[in-house]
Amino acid sequence: MVTDDTRGRGTFGRRTALMLLAVAGSALSLRALGAGAQPRPACTVRPEQTEGPYFVDTQLARSDIRSDPASGAIEPGVPLELTFHVSHVASGCEPLPGAHVELWQCNAHGLYSGVKDPRADTTGRKFLRGYQTTDARGMARFTSIYPGWYPGRTVHIHFMIRTAAGSRGEQFTSQLYFDDALSDRIFARAPYSERGPRSVRNAADGIYRRGGSQLMLAVRERDGGLAADFDIGLKSAR
């Protein structure tokens, strides 16, 4: 079985001299749903994690990543608004404009677009993929859905940050996670409920155990869906 741990380890050491530092998710939550996401001091280190086998460099610049550009079909699922706040560390944490932030994730049925694996062939499709370039405030916003699950992994979203848009020279790759209790609630709804109980929770996921507790999203309810903020700071060692 192909898993996210198949390839992509050690990217930090090979490709870049970046250090990833981070602040806690939104302190302005209307109602915190992710009990596992704890407030953290400003500029604390977050771990890099594997890129996994499902990254596809689509060069697809867009904020709403739910649709397949070829057909216009929108992936069903609970809406999730995710906002990155990217900073660089100088004298404190300052906004970092022009950073390339890319997301990719599975759909409600546990499938990634643009790949072929034993479960499905989605080559040529591009749903739930895309990137944004941070604005003058270091912000990049995405509209997605709450991810589903697939065998061997807990619930997660992949992300990659490149300090120069379009360049793979300096990048940091990791994953975002969700509180198990929240996932249980979401997966009781259609279309997630069509798959039955998931096979792996956070504590049983080998990749999550390598620092996933520091990559939890603090999720809040908003406008019939969910929203979360993720604040990170990058520091070049050059």
pLDDT at res. 169: 46
pLDDT at res. 80: 98
Q: Which CATH architecture has domain 4-236?
A: Sandwich (2.60)
pLDDT at res. 173: 93
Exposure class string for 106-132: b at 16+ Cβ within 10 A, else e: bbbbbbbbbbeeeeeebeebbbbbbbb
User: Within the chain, which residues score under 70 in pLDDT?
Assistant: 1-45, 90-91, 164-169, 235-238
List pLDDT tens digits, range 89-143.
765 778 888 999 999 999 999 999 999 988 899 999 999 999 999 999 999 999 9
pLDDT at res. 192: 97
237 touches 18 (CB < 8 A): yes
> What are the DSSP E strand ranges found in 100-145?
100-104, 116-117, 120-121, 129-133, 139-145
Query: What is the model's pTM?
Result: 0.84
pLDDT at res. 90: 65
Task: Tell me the domain boundaries of the chain.
Answer: 4-236
